[in-house]
Amino acid sequence: MIRSELLALSHEFGARELVILGEGNTSARSSDDTFLVKASGSSLARLTKQQLTECRFEDLLALFESDSVSDEEVERVLLESRVDPGALKPSVETFFHAYLLTLPGVKFVGHTHPIAVNKILASPFSRIFAENRQCPDEIVCCGAVSALLPYVDPGLALAVRIREELGAFQKKHGKMPRVILLENHGVITFGATPDAVRAAMYMTVKAAEVFSGAFQFGKINHLPKKEIDRIEGRLDEDYRRKMLKI
């Protein structure tokens, strides 16, 4: 069931052209100790069961505490984390999937490189986009604010930085984000269900298109903070989230 759900999510992201070639990756918790993640170099649009590699959390998370890790060590740990030694090599981004899947309630993770979003993340307006909302449904699906990280070398370094930034985000906002924006890189969404990952991802892409489009008319009218707080806490919106399984 988990494997088929993860394949469906991956194929959908690929079909919607949120990635091309071997870009992006997805993952899902398969047990208390293991998770499935896209194999390195494989295509989300055409992902097969054999291209989902099952890895052990413990092997990967232990590396987070090392002060200096060589590329060779990262490669060794990635390969040794495989439950099946004959399975394909997991994505280099497997480290941040391992971390995010240990967060309370998180069972699925998606990472894509949407053009509409990366136009903003490669510009000086990335923080304005991350910290403001233009439409009510963006709040429902993506939360009141997204986490934003500067560009970090993909792999272990990025995973460690994500852990640091999410700790700071939770301390500041009292909750974890629904969306992580990576400057000059892409988007990460995560949640208890594939629907939660889909909703946050698709709404982030829509929000980016609205954001960029508003510039064509000279100005973006952000929703006032009091309206964002009101929508974030409304009982009917909480009900909608439950119905949408997000």
Instruction: Decide if 154 contacts 111 (C-beta within 8 A).
Output: no
Q: What is the C-alpha separation between 7 and 27, in angstroms, rounded?
A: 9
Give the tokens for residue 242.
């439950």
pLDDT at 104: 96
Task: Tell me which of 58-62, 225-229, 230-234 is least confident.
Answer: 230-234
Domains and CATH numbers, the chain: 2-244 (3.40.225.10)
Whether 231 contacts 139, CB under 8 Å: yes
Q: What are phi and psi of 133, to 5 degrees?
A: -130, 145
Tell me the CA end-to-end span of the chain in Å, nearest whole number: 19
Burial classification of residue 16, based on how many CB atoms lie within 10 Å of its CB (0-12 exposed, 13-18 middle, 19 or more buried): middle
What contacts 112, CB < 8 A, 6 or more positions away?
13, 18, 19, 23, 24, 44, 186, 187, 201
125 CB neighbour count, 10 Å cutoff: 16
**What pLDDT sits at residue 240?**
67
Count Cβ atoms below 10 Å from residue 235 Cβ, excluding itself. 7
In tens, the pLDDT along 127-150 reads 999 999 999 999 999 999 999 999
pLDDT of residue 244: 67
**Predicted confidence (pLDDT) per residue in 143-201, tens digit:** 999 999 999 999 999 999 999 999 999 999 999 999 999 999 999 999 999 999 999 99
The pLDDT assigned to 237 comes to 62
